Structure 1
Amino acid sequence: CVDIRLAQMEPGDLTGIPVDASSGEAYNNQWQAYLEQHRIERPDVNVHELAKQFQKEQDRVMTWTRPEWFPTEGYGILFVDEFNRQDRLTYNASFELVLDGGIGRHRLPDGWMVVAAGNPISDDEDYNVYSLDDAMISRFCHITVIPDPSEWLQWASANALDPDVINFIAMNNRHLGIEKPKFELNIKPDPRVWHRVSDLKPFLPLHLRSEVIAGLVGRDLATSFLKTIATKDKPIDPRKILASFEEVYEQVVEYVGVPGNNRTDILSASNDLLVGILEKREKDQHPLTPNEGMNLRGYLLTIPDDMAMVVLRKALLWRTCNQELMKDPDLRAKMETHRQTLVDVGAIPAK
């Protein structure tokens, strides 16, 4: 673990110091290689003249030194402490560090992870800290750490603190000064955050899933998300629609329901996923098979017309789909009913 304290740093401590790249060991190595090459070609070369020529050919480039603390190998945790006490001048550099795992041309090895710590903002100004903006908040999974008196007592015993101190706190743990922090962040999820949820979810133990996802998208949204994945009311898998529509037919019919008692929200989400799959097939130039075309036609004939048009307005524009879609007379009749809608987007020609 490498521990750095941002409150004690200046920008150069993070980014490194600018130096002339045409100097030092790298420069000397380039010169030696240049000299050896020309000596092989011309054993009688004038070294003084050759040095002048070498200097003329070199582009002078500024580079940045690597900070001494910056890891270059292995694996571990880069612990960035006092994150919301740092000077505003170092704030932008820390953006790149926590998002990209590096600063400038310096990159953390694959086995390293950035973990930051900060103090909560309190109404009584117990801590001289400032709030993080939305862009920085979205770069972290936020976990509130609440100290536990029993853990402190175990630590105190293991580290041979004075027995009288240990016994007093054991009997009066309210005097340990531990309070639940008021650390309510205004977490606003964005595409990057949901990507992170997708990456982490398969590896999260059940007892950690709620806390970690809440740290990414916020407590209320995490509760809604976990409730949704625990219910059967989910969008229909578009791959099943194409591969074997009969397997999901009853589910589609249930969602279609009757006016006033249907789940058009789920069908709409299913359509979005289906269009995404069909669009990828078009980009990959991977046409629908006759079986997939039959299943897609069955799905479009089962859902309400307005929802079917959402798919057809795009799918009819794609060569990988349109030939299969035109095979079914019932589907063609549905298209004819909504001809003007499809003509307006160029999905079918005007008469």
Structure 2
Amino acid sequence: MSKNYLTYGLKSSSKEATEFIEHILQTNITAEEEGKRKTPVCIWGRHGIGKTELVGQIASELDYRWTYIAPAQFEEMGDLLGMPKVDGNKTVFVPPSWVPTDEGPGILLIDDVNRADDRILRGIMQLLQNFELVSWRLPKNWQIILTANPDGGDYSVTPMDDAMLTRMMHITMEFDAKVWAKWAEQAKVDPRGINFVLIYPEIAAGELTTPRSLVQFFNSINSIRDLEKELPLVQALAASCLDEETVTAFVTFIQQNLTELIEPEKILNAKSFKKEVTEPIEKIVKKDVLRVDILATLATRMSNYLTINKIAPTKPQIENIQSFIKMDVIPNDIRLSLLQDIMNTDNTRLKMVMSDPEVSMMLLKNM
């Protein structure tokens, strides 16, 4: 990261962060069963990278209940503790409406925690330590996950002191284009947008340009079939939510006809592989310098298409995949990565790609 950003924990992709968090969740379940203290997790990362969505996805996949709060919106301690009321001869607190009451498993997400006022941060410390406050307690099998933007740089955040930091375990989430591309394929993001990010992965770390704003832009152009014909509108849409450098890069992407990259489905179903696949690809990648970035993009898209859609290829489709793998222009490291993805799947039919002796030898030679 630039601008002297300060984060905590290992820098990881969303996939690695998910594995880390799910392990801590399971560890905490065991700890609670044994009467030990559970440990909250804080996910650090720049804005728009998908920290909040990651927690929601984990909760959904594990079938956890979850509750979301944004303490930056809290004006008073009552927003955290609840409001007092007289109960007989004593004053008690009525917990806020967002406090979960049903037994878990569940996740309380404290989002953008270090954008909260310092008083609110200090009030949260007891919650992180004991999973309770003076006025309420989290139900059984509930856990706490926090998200935070980096300290330093140009973020308007409240620094957390060591007493608070040491109450949590930390991980920093960074953008990984290949991991994002797999998510984007599942989410039906415009394929032209996926290709753009895979070819220009560095653009996702801008000020306005983030994975979140890129998806907003790609959704806005999804209905525009001919981007070059509608270039002024495309530029206006891009400039509305992305950095100037990203807008320029996307215009170049259009003008170089990279929006017309062949889709995996067309490679898979080509009737004449040389005419429909080999020649168009070579025309685009054989420049003064071989466009390895484009070849890597095509291979990643092919891998994601095959595995996400659990394609059980027919014999002609298997032959097309084999022909794609054997294309002379594809570098060995890209070829190996695609072959490993195929071998790591539990799709028996897809693994028939390895029935070609030449393809099998490519894998053996490069392992």
Task: Give TM-score, length-normalised by structure 2.
Answer: 0.40
Quick check: which has more Rg, 1 or 2?
Answer: 1
Greater RCO, 1 or 2 (C-alpha within 8 Å, sep 6+): 2
